[in-house]
């Protein structure tokens, strides 16, 4: 009896193992159909995942582009304000230089003896 059991075990080990996932009780055509359906479902899910990844990438790119445009607009506005400020400073400096030159000219005429150029005394 023991030899018979050992022989049976050895015989089972020598036979080719059944392909994983194949159940001898289910017809081969049905197994093939199930495998094809599973592959179709896997492919459909992979397409949905790829579409979602593409959508996220597109939105990310749009947001990045929008942010870069926002930064460029902010920079342009800042540069315009700075240019206006510099122009105002230059105008004020030019006005101050003109007024100072007039004052220095009046002082020089007053020192030269032109009493009409001198400041009135109170």
The answer, yes or no, to whether residue 25 has pLDDT greater than 70, is: yes
Structure tokens at 104: 């220095």
pLDDT score at 100: 96
Neighbours of 24 (CB within 10 A): 8
3-state secondary structure of 23: coil
Neighbours of 107 (CB within 10 A): 13
pLDDT score at 65: 94
pLDDT score at 120: 74
pLDDT score at 12: 65
Average pLDDT, the chain: 87
CB 117 within 8 A of CB 104: no
The answer, yes or no, to whether residue 86 has pLDDT greater than 90, is: yes
pLDDT score at 23: 75
- In this prediction, residues 116-120 reach a mean pLDDT of 77
In terms of Cα–Cα distance, which of 12, 96, 53, 101 is closest to 4?
12
pLDDT score at 11: 67
């Amino acid at each position: 009896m023991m030899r018979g059991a050992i022989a049976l075990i050895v015989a089972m080990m020598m036979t080719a193992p059944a392909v994983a996932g194949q159940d001898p009780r289910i017809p081969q055509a049905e197994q093939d159909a199930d495998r094809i359906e599973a592959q179709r479902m896997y492919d459909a899910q992979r397409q949905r995942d790829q579409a979602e990844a593409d959508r996220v990438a597109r939105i990310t790119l749009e947001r990045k582009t929008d942010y870069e445009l926002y930064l460029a607009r902010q920079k342009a506005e800042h540069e315009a304000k700075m240019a206006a400020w510099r122009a105002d400073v230059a105008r004020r400096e030019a006005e101050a230089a003109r007024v100072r030159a007039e004052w220095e000219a009046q002082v020089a005429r007053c020192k030269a003896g032109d009493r009409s150029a001198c400041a009135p005394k109170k």
